[in-house]
Amino acid sequence: MTALPAPEHSRVVLVGASRFEELAELPAVAANVATLRELFTSEEVWGLPRRHCLLVAEPRAPREVSAAVRQAAAEATDTLIVYYAGHGLIDPGTGELHLALRESRPHEVYDTAVPYDWIRRTLATSRATRRIVILDCCYSGRMLGAMSEGLGLAEIDGTYLLAAAAENALALAPPGELFTAFTGELVALVRSGVPGAGPALTLNDLYERTRSSLRAAGRPEPHCRDRNTLGAVPFVPNPAFQVSPEGEEGAPPADEPGTVSQLASIRRFMADLSHELRTPLTALTAVSDVLETDAAQKGVEMGPPLRLMVDETRRLAGLVENLMELARFDAGLARLVVTETDIAAVVRECLAARDWDRSVTVVAAPGVIAFLDPRRLDVIMANLIGNALAHGQEPVTVTVAVRPPPGEPSGPDPYCPDRPFEIVLTVADRGEGIPAPLLPYVFDRFRKGDSRRPRSAGHGLGLSFAQENARLMGGRVEAANQAEGGAVFTVRLPQHPHPEPSAPSEP
């Protein structure tokens, strides 16, 4: 295991418990899990598909947590991470560690909190080659096995256990700080990296640096247990890594565009932007979600000022993410994770994830398979379908087909069975269509179809992102109006751009 974790074959479960009925609240936990999800799913860190990074926020019952961990453990074949932040509780009868939930009772731990042993047993049965448990709670060091017979999960090859506190020590959530002490250091390190270190950071790098920082600040020190040197293999990219042009074989001169030094500067800028803008915005978004959930549970509507704050926070967070994506494309740092993909399945998952099933009809040829990046295909389809629903009229229809490239004869060729074909997806609506003056410019950045729409409706980047993602996979998106009325967008992608699935390249 020398490569970074493969996003398509990895799973992450982030459990955050910040609100309790009989325990002190931990508001920083909401920011912990929201920010970690953004980190793991960001291009700069891992590029994990969001559907593979499950956020279990404010669970009430133990089985909510165990079900999520069980599903992730069954699906992961590369890396499996389970993270929990909240209160750690000790069962007075057995001395075992339990993870507190909203309805947990300190004197009835055994059936109101999640026994760590449930997580240990589930991970022990997973096919994942790397199993990682991170607990940011009091007494989390007990999972390392010092208080029980044997080492439990730590006996299994390919496991790494990281605890925020010793077995009998309290973790720390400093008042007024955005994150808990341990996760705050971990987030800062993953975002900023280690100057002078290699291109990737290992779990041991993260542990040692975090422990050193917390010790210097007089805060509780984390503890870890590594099995079979998993802690020494690459885990996340190092944003602070820079390559000297003189040391890079075949590197272009330093004064030419696209040099290694310039790319390193862009990487650094992206990391700084991520840290300075995304971190507080992620925390604000998490707080907004809590406020909205509270209002819904109490059956009340948020007042106009609070609704404005929630909506504008989400809009600003979306704009920052879009600007980050633009920087990746412009710097040539956008990555492809190519795998064998069922095209119709990606389209249907896209609709289901956004609750568009009832508004969109899918017409798909059976068994359309291609080697491409399913996450980027999802981005393309989400932007095109969302655009059709927002600016066009129903019915909206998506078609999926396989065709020879333009100019090539149709049908199988017995003399050239490997003749390349292309995947063709169309998104059509029955609205007024695209105004003729706008048609040549629909893929331009920040171009909005209707200036009269409220500014919160979008940033004018959706169609340009669809085009950029298609080009990254060797294809393109075309826009036109139908004779019978309405707009139609056509996505053309090569069916086999690579002979076999490629591993994700390091940024």
Q: What is the pTM of this model?
A: 0.65
Q: Helix, strand or coil for residue 443?
A: coil
Q: How far apart are CA 370 and CA 377, in angstroms?
A: 11
* Runs of H (alpha helix) within 299-353: 304-331, 343-353
Nearest one of 383, 389, 406 to 462, comparing CA atoms:
383
Cα 245 to the center of its chain, rounded Å: 32
Angle at 405 between CA 397 and CA 478, to 5 degrees: 45
Q: How far apart are CA 402 and CA 380, in angstroms?
A: 18
Q: Say if residues 13 and 56 touch (Cβ distance below 8 Å).
A: yes
Q: CA 290, 291, 294, 300: dihedral to nearest 10 degrees?
A: -160
Q: List the pLDDT tens digit at each of the 507 positions of the chain.
A: 567 898 889 999 999 999 999 999 999 999 999 989 988 988 778 888 888 999 999 998 999 999 999 999 999 999 999 999 999 999 988 999 999 999 999 989 998 999 999 999 999 999 999 999 999 999 999 998 743 444 444 455 679 999 999 999 999 999 988 899 999 999 999 988 888 888 899 999 999 999 999 999 999 999 999 876 899 999 998 888 865 444 444 333 444 444 445 555 665 666 566 657 766 777 777 777 777 777 777 778 878 888 888 888 877 777 777 777 777 777 677 778 888 899 999 999 999 988 898 899 999 988 889 999 998 999 999 999 999 998 888 899 999 998 775 555 555 444 344 545 899 999 999 999 999 888 888 898 876 655 444 444 556 788 988 999 999 999 999 999 998 889 999 999 998 754 444 444 433
- Reduced DSSP (H G I as helix, E B as strand, rest coil) percent helix, strand, coil of the chain, to 5: 40, 20, 40
Q: How far apart are CA 129 and CA 478, in angstroms?
A: 42
Per DSSP, 332 falls in state T
Q: How far is CA 50 from CA 34, 41, 353, 358, 462, in A?
A: 12, 6, 11, 23, 18
